[in-house]
Structure 1
Amino acid sequence: MKQPAGHHLAELNIGRLLADVDDPRVADFMNNLDRINGLGKRMPSFVWMSEGSGEPGTGNTEMKIAGDPRFIVNMTVWSDAVSLKTFVFDTLHAKFMERKA
C-alpha cells in the first residue's frame, strides 16, 4: 500500500508490565526507556512522540489505562512504515523486544 503524500503513520503500543515499574524484574526495561526512546527520536523519519514529565527513567510511561500502573502506553509518529519497521526490528530496540518474547 502506497502512503498518500502529506500523511504520517501513528503507532500506538500498549503493554502491561509483569511487575510494578520500581520492581527489579522490570528494572532493565525501565532503565533503558530513555535510551531507546532517544534512539527513535534520532531516526531521520521520526516525527513525534508522546512525552511524559521528562523525569529520568520514566520514559513516557506516565499515561495509565484504567488507573493500572503496570500498563505502559507509547505513541509515536513516523514519516513512513518502512522507517518504523527499521527502528523496531533493525536497531537496539529489537534486542528489547526479543527479551520480552
Structure 2
Amino acid sequence: MFPQPDGHYLAQINVSVSRYDQDDPRFAGFTSRIDAVNAIAERAEGFIWRLKSDSGSAMDIRASEDPRFLINMSVWTRAQALEDFVWKTAHVKVYNQKAEWFPVLGTAHMAFWWVPIGHIPTYDEGMARLEALRANGPSEAAFGWESLPQVAEWRSKRCG
C-alpha cells in the first residue's frame, strides 16, 4: 500500500493500442466521445492536468511509431477524485465498451505514482514509471489501483 504523502498529488499513465485506425468507423464509438469525456475530466473535482497536444487532444500525440498506440496521462489531487471520475461519470460508459476497441495488452497498461504538488510529469517520466511497474511490480516508483488504500470501486469493476 502506498498512501498519499503530504504535499503530493496522484499521477497516472494509461496506454493502449487500438484495434482500429482513428478514422475507422468501427472506432467511432470511442473517438466520437473522447472529447466529451476529457471535458468532464477537466471539470471534475480534484483534476489538475492531463497530457494533450496543442489541439487539446491526446489522440493526436504520436508517442510511438505505431499510429494505434494511444496514451493518457493525468494528475489528480487525490486517488478518490480519480476514482470518482472513472466510475461515476460518462467515462464508465466508454470504459465498459473498451473490449470493442482495445485488445488486452498482456502486460501492465496503467501505472500510478505520487508527484510533488506543482510537478507536471512528462511522457518519458510516465513511460519510465509504467516500465518500472512492468519490471518490478508495485513499488513506490509505480503501482496500480490495488496499492491505493483509499479506493475500492475498481475491485468490483475488474479494472487494473
Query: TM-score, length-normalised on structure 1?
Result: 0.89
Q: Cα RMSD between the aligned structures?
A: 1.4
Q: Give structure 1 stretches of 5+ with no counterpart.
A: none
- Tell me the equivalent position of 1:39: 40
Which amino acid letter does the alignment assign opposite residue 42 of structure 1? Answer: R
- Tell me the equivalent position of 1:68: 66
Which amino acid letter does the alignment assign opposite residue 69 of structure 1? Answer: P
Runs of 4+, deviation exceeding 3 Å: none
Q: Give structure 2 stretches of 5+ with no counterpart.
A: 100-160
1:74 CA displacement: 0.7
* CA distance in structure 1 between the aligned counterparts of 2:36 and 2:49, rounded to whole angstroms: 16
- Tell me the equivalent position of 1:13: 14
* CA distance in structure 1 between the aligned counterparts of 2:17 and 2:41, rounded to whole angstroms: 21
* Identical residues among aligned pairs (%): 37
What is the aligned counterpart of 2:93 among 92, 95, 99?
A: 95
- Which has the greater radius of gyration? 2
- 1:53–1:60: 8 Å Cα contact kept in structure 2? no
- Tell me the equivalent position of 1:86: 84
Q: How many residues align?
A: 98
